[in-house]
Every structure is written in structure tokens, then in C-alpha cells.
Structure 1
């Protein structure tokens, strides 16, 4: 792809883009993976395995900042002794989503309003690493695990969490924000759990901590702020000094946000569970994906492609957000994608645009073109004079439940892939 009105860029033609426009008719069933050939590993006999002795584990050391007790902590009338450090492992079950009736204060628009407020509150010289929405401080759905009793639910349940990697100058670190509605009282001050307790003008209690741990001699610095608001909101912000953007974790010794800046984040009024959602706030964007083997595509290229997409007419379709907001796909996707909801009556569907770099040139031989394994559909492949290959696919699947009186549902997927 080259910029309109310019000569072809050698840097761009060195890539192969796969640009897919996918419309999925929302008739109750969405099925993925049906157009792919079966993996050989799933259709052949398993290989013979041999048993070998387990490797001897390397020496492992984990050290935390020493705790002094008895001690005093600013803002605390009394300080309790540190308890034994213990971890817990939970396996989540049950339903979860943005409209979980167990947590009526939370919704998709509420998550977007909280995200917008958190992004605005970041310091002006601190940048989020270009990443998927879920890694750009988008608050996720509340996971609703099964708890044995109400006490466990009160302690561990009801959290929505947002993640991002923050870069500021030479320093970078992983930031997480969590919010929940709590009915438990403000906990006592415990030695080793906080460095200071602050009480804000509105009565919000904020515990702050600046500490470290060492794993095999490598020190990681952590900073946190935990707020307990009068309306029952429990809001926490955590950041470390680990830069993982290059693949190898590197500790700088300086988290990119200060303790005071974390306090400012947990004090944002829009993060309170009782804060109203501004009228017209959209819900969270549709999830999407691109080929997992894509070469990386940087933010500058994504912005250029956004401009191209924004100028493409979409046949008078009503969509919930305009095209031209490509983001990295998923947690590890190097390609870009965007999905929008089509709300035109009679054409309700999801329109997805995905861009991948470094893709192989598809076959143009009709006998080698992939065909659906089940259902009905067609695949057409043609080559343009300049070597561009266009593949068109349409796939229809009808399903019906086994219960008596169940209604058959049909899903239609149309895909155009340009390489």
C-alpha cells in the first residue's frame, strides 16, 4: 500500500499486506476456524514419546524488602505486626461480562468512561505503548468466580482491571488499575504493607507503598496506591520498573510514575463506582484478530492506514464507530485490526478489518484454493495485472439445538482478502 498521490514506497512494498473485510451476519451463531485446513497434528497418529529424567532445578532466590516491627507509619494511629506471606490460587468459573447482574454498577459504557478518564489523567510526558485496547487501560469485564462463601467474595470478588505499559523518557513499566465496589471497612495498617496512609479532603483513605523484591539477584521496584472511597469504591494503582517491550524484561530501577501520580490516578472521580456514565458514551469496542505470524506494524504505519480507511465509503451502512482506528490485535498480535458493529436494520452484523505484514503469497491455482469443510459456501481467487491476489469467500452455517422446539439459526460470513 502506498500513500495516495505518491510513488510506491520501497519500504512498504517489501511487506505483503493481507487486508480483510469481514462481515458476519448476527443470526445467533459465530463460528471461527471452519475455513482452515485441519492441522496435520490433529489427523495423524501421535508420535512415540520417551521419558527422560527431570532437569535439576537451578538455585532460586526471592528476597523482599526487610520489615521492621514495632514501627510507626505516617497517617496510622496504630500498626499491626506483619503476617506470614501467603499466596492463594483460584480457578475462576461462572459467567462474566460487562453486564453482569451481580455487579449492576458496571457496564460496557462505564468501562469506556473509566478508561477515558484514566488516560486523560496520565502525566503529559508519560506515553502508553502502542498496543491492543485491552492493553491500553481498557477496563475488562468483571470475572465472577465461584466463591465458597460471601466472605471470600467480599475480599476477592468484583474487580475490573485495566493494563498498560507506560514509557517516560528512558523508563518504562507495567501499570495496572483495579476498581471494585466493596462493603468491607478500611483495613488496619500492617507493617510491610504500606509506607504511608493519607486521608483526602473528601474522606477517601489512600495507602501508598514504594518497595522492591529481588529474584535471583535482580531487583524490581514496585509502587502502589490503594484508595478506599466513602461510596465504597476500592481503587488501586500499581506500577513497576520493568520494560518488557523489547522481549527481554529489563529493570531500570525507576518506575515511570511517582507515588503522588498514582495517588492522583486512584483519586479520579470517574473511577468511583457511583460516578454516572456521561450520556452518549459508547460501549467497549468489538474484539478482533489478525494473523498471528504478522511482522510488527508500528504506530506511524497504523496512523497512515487509519487515514486510508477513514476515506473509504461503507455502502451507507450505519456503524457504531468510524473505520480508521486500527490497533494491535490481541495480547501478542503484531498485526492490526478493528471491528465495528453494523446497526443498519436488516443488516446487523460485525465488520472487521485486519492488516498483517509479511504474509505469504496465496495460491492462485483453483484446485489448491481452500474450501469449507462443512456447511456451504464458495471461494474465488483472482490475480490482478500488478500481482495483487484477491480471494473472496462466503460461508453459511445453519445450526439447531437438540432440545425439542429449538429454532435453527444461520450465520453468514463474507470475507475479502487482498495480498
Structure 2
């Protein structure tokens, strides 16, 4: 950075670079801010620009303001663990993620809606990446993201929570517009600003709360949106309400009855065309009305959401609490009718009266967790119905190897229900 004669600190453009880190599960894109070498090349078509910073400056709520710090932008693409149980962060678990998700959604303004999207983009708190040795490299936070709709406008929201033993950081020029001290000892920093990437300006509002129990919660809203008029969906005060919501504190007891998170939805390796929200609602009503013959589920059927690779999906836990048993329903379109003859993988198939092909398969396999190389044996039953329209419904029950999956009759009654045909 250079200092202009009027005291303005000019933020120079920095090059956006991308680092790829190989990890398990699925990819997530993020932005990490850090020092940029003075020798970094300039690139007008691949740059990041922030507003100029005035220094010295007075910031409300700050007794001392430190000078701005050099900063650059680097992109990171990394994998995340699929499971929530990470021994490096004992305060966090799948049930806490669900409790925090409920608290976050309840803290949104009454007229704010979450856009129809996959669970990972529906304000659901995600697993914490990595272990304690990589805390400084990747951070130690769980986050939830979504597009938020308010009337005819939309914008992005990201909320992150972590546990920290560090003191509240100093006030730094350019990093905040105001510091608020609350009655319970909480300190909240807020900022209303903008940045430009590749010459495209994004408006951004942030509130970060440092709570007495060691919780650090931040909420960032921007005017990034697609399909509607773009606008920052939340005010600064609304973001402050979110980050000070009691349910986001890392020491708050988890409410009784909070379920474990649902399993992750993946609809195969080939991308499927998207299925719109109106069709999803229709099929959700069909699923909710299907009798389950006494099968215990941790949440009702009828909550299909977009899957990571297209189509729709829902995963519920079955059996008694604590049992590692899942029932998944995946619906895709644009699929070709399979050959009726059974392949060599143990699948059996038959043609239904309406021309659809129903295939059944049972298998056993081993899986290993991120912290162990030992295999855990699993057993699954899958019924797949492919219709002449190209709709394919796949219903799978997965249990421990010694347990009995959901009955073939129930799996078929779900997969073969004509109301699940997208056309």
C-alpha cells in the first residue's frame, strides 16, 4: 500500500491466485486474506480492489485505532470432511450443527426467505475442515451459506462460528466502521463496504461478535445474486442480531430432541438437469403421503432439495436413535431406459406395466473413517425405477452389515410411485 499526500492509504490491486488442496469428499471454494509480496505481478483482468483507507481516523467505539495492514487475496479450493465428528474440535458435533442451524434460521427477519438450493447452500452449518495442526492454514470454523430472498431482491449470506481463547483484536483502520460494546460483555465489530474483483463491484456488510464464552460469530451479507434484482439482503443491525443470537454460542446446551444431520445427497457422477421448485413441491407432497409401514425416521419424507450434481435428493435416518442407518431418495431426469436383462453385478430387473424398468440390487461393502484405516462393513438395498420420460428414482437403505435394511416392498412402493415422475 502507498500513502497519498492527503493521508489516504491507497489499496493497490492484487492478483487472484488459486491453490488446490487435495482432500476427501467434495470441493468448496473460499477466500483467504493474507500478505501479498511487493513483487506480485499486476493483472488488470484478475484483480481485487477495496476502498481507500483514511489514516489516522477515529472509529466509534475504539479508543485506539491501528494503521491499516497490507493484505492480498488468494483463492483456495479444498475438500471438506463429510462427517461432523472431528476430535480436534470437541465443542462441535452434528447435533450442535443442527441446533445452530435452527437458531440461525429463527434469527432471520420474518420477511426473509432461503432460496431453494442444496443443503450446503441452505444455511446449514457444515463440518469443520482439517485438524488442529492446520488451524492457521484453514481456520477452525463451521459456516452456513445461502441466497436470501426479500421480496423481488436477493443477496448472499454467510455465517461462520468458531471457538477462540484469543482476546478481542485491536481496531484496525479499514477493517471496521464501528465497535459496539454490549451489556453482557460482548463486543461487535461492524462494517459496510465494497470490493471489486475483475472490475465488478460487490457491496458487503459484516458483523463479527466476540462473546464472553469464547464464541466468535461473523455474518457477511453481499449483493451477489442470480435470477433476481441484486441487493444486500440484510441491514447491519440485522446482522448484529444474528451474530448475538444465543443459539450460536459454542457453550449453549444443545436442545433435547435435536436430530443428527441428514446424510449427504449425491445423485451419481453424471450431472442431471435441474428440477425446479414447483415440481419439487409436488413430489414432496407425494412422498409425505406414502405409508412407511411403521418404519421409524428421524424426519418426515417430503423434503427433497437440489443435490450436488443435479436432480433432487433427501436422506433420513431410520431405526432407533443412534443407529447408523440411512434411507436416501434420489430423483434425476434425462436418463435412458436400461436394458431389461440383468447385468453381472447382481442386479435384477423387470418391466412395469407402464413401460418403466425396476431394478433391485443388494450389496455389502466396507468404509473407513477419516481418522482410521479400519473398515466398517455396511449393507445396502437399492431399488431404481427408470421411466420412459427419463425420470429415474433411486431409493436406497443402508445399515450396518449385521442389520436388516428396509424391506424390498417398501423400497419399491416409494420408487415406483407414479407421482414421482417429473414429467
TM-score range, shorter chain: 0.7 to 0.9
Q: Does 1:195 align with 2:173?
A: no
How big is the alpha-carbon RMSD for the aligned residues of Structure 1 and Structure 2? 3.0
Superposition deviation, residue 126 in structure 1? 1.6
Partner-residue secondary structure (3-state), 2:66: coil
* TM-aligned CA distance change 1:180 to 1:308, over 3 Å: same
- The structure, 1 or 2, with the larger RCO (C-alpha pairs under 8 Å, 6+ apart) is 1
Give the alignment partner of residue 197 of structure 2, picking from 196, 212, 215.
215
Larger Rg: 1 or 2?
Answer: 1
2:96 is matched with which residue? 110
CA contact (8 A) 2:152 2:229 kept: no
Match of 2:124 among 108, 131, 138: 138
Note the C-alpha offset of 1:73: 0.4
Equivalent residue in structure 2 for 1:306, among 284, 296, 316:
284
Kept in 1, the 8 Å contact 2:179–2:187? The answer is yes
Out of 48, 62, 85, the position equivalent to 2:71 is: 85
Alpha-carbon deviations, 1:85-141, whole Å to 9, x = none? 134677979978422232222111111111111111111222111111221111011
Structure 1 position 410, deviation (Å): 5.6
Looking at structure 1, the residues matched to 324 and 206 of structure 2 have their Cα atoms a distance apart, in angstroms, of 44
Task: Note if contact 2:318-2:327 (Cα within 8 Å) is conserved in structure 1.
Answer: yes
Q: How many positions carry a matched residue from both structures?
A: 339
Q: Please give the per-residue CA displacement for 1:331-386, whole angstroms capped at 9, x wherever unaligned.
A: xx4311111222169x96321111223x23404442xx5442xxxx23213141x3
Q: 1 CA distance for matches of 2:296 and 2:189? A: 47
Instruction: Give 1:380's aligned residue.
Output: 349
Query: What does residue 21 of structure 2 align with?
Result: none
Secondary structure of 1:203's counterpart equals coil
After superposition, residues 30-45 of structure 1 pair within 5 angstroms as none
Out of 356, 359, 381, the residue aligned to residue 392 of structure 1 is 359
Please point out which of 140, 153, 164 is paired with 2:146. Answer: 164
* Counterpart Cα distance in 2 of 1:304 and 1:99: 35
User: C-alpha separation between the residues in 2 aligned to 1:296 and 1:417?
Assistant: 19
Partner of 2:255: 278
Aligned to 2:5: none
Kept in 1: contact 2:47–2:197 (CA 8 A): yes
Write the distance in 2 (CA, Å) between the matches of 1:212 and 1:188. Answer: 22
Q: Deviations over 1:298-355 (max 9, x none)?
A: 223222211211121223222222211111112xx4311111222169x963211112
Question: Do the aligned residues in 2 keep the contact of 1:340 with 1:351 (CA within 8 Å)?
Answer: yes
Residue 362 in structure 1 maps to residue 337 in structure 2 = yes
Match of 2:412 in 1: none
Give 1:237 shift: 0.3
Deviates more, 1:278-287 or 1:95-104: 95-104
Q: Say if 2:114 and 2:146, in contact at 8 Å, map to a contact too.
A: yes
Taking a change above 3 Å as real, the CA distance of residues 96 and 294 of structure 1, as seen in their structure-2 partners, is closer
What whole-Å deviation, never above 9, does each CA across 1:11-46 have from its counterpart, x for those lacking one?
xxxxxxxxxxxxxxxxxxxxxxxxxxxxxxxxxxxx
Partner of 1:44: none
Q: In structure 1, which of residues 317, 322, 326 is the aligned counterpart of residue 304 of structure 2?
A: 326
Which residue, out of 281, 284, 294, partners 1:316? 294
Go from structure 1 to structure 2 and tell me whether the alpha carbon gap of 1:400 and 1:235 turns closer, same or farther (over 3 Å shift): closer
Cα distance in 2, alignment partners of residues 90 and 290 from structure 1: 25
Could you list the per-position Cα deviations for residues 255-298 of structure 1 after superposition, in whole angstroms to 9, with x for gaps in the alignment?
11111111111010000111111101101111122355433222
Secondary structure at the aligned position of 2:272 is classed as: coil
1:34 paired residue number: none
What TM-score, normalized to structure 2? Answer: 0.72
Tell which deviates more after alignment, 87-96 or 234-243: 87-96
Larger fraction in strand: 2
User: How has the CA–CA distance of structure 1 residues 277 and 348 changed in structure 2, closer, same or farther, with 3 Å as cutoff?
Assistant: closer
Structure 1, unmatched stretches of 5+, are 1-56
The 1:394/1:217 distance shift into structure 2, 3 A limit, reads: closer
Match of 1:239 among 209, 217, 221: 221
Secondary structure in 1 matching 2:316: strand
Contact 1:134 1:162 in 2 (8 A): yes
Query: TM-score, length-normalised on structure 1?
Result: 0.73
2 CA distance for matches of 1:334 and 1:409? 29
Match of 1:340, SS?
strand
8 A Cα contact 2:162 2:216, kept in partner: yes
Take 2:81 and 2:233, find their aligned partners in 1: how far apart are those partners?
36
Quote the Cα distance in structure 2 between the aligned partners of 1:104 and 1:188: 28
Identify if the C-alpha distance between structure 1 residues 87 and 363 changes in structure 2 by more than 3 Å, giving closer, same or farther.
closer
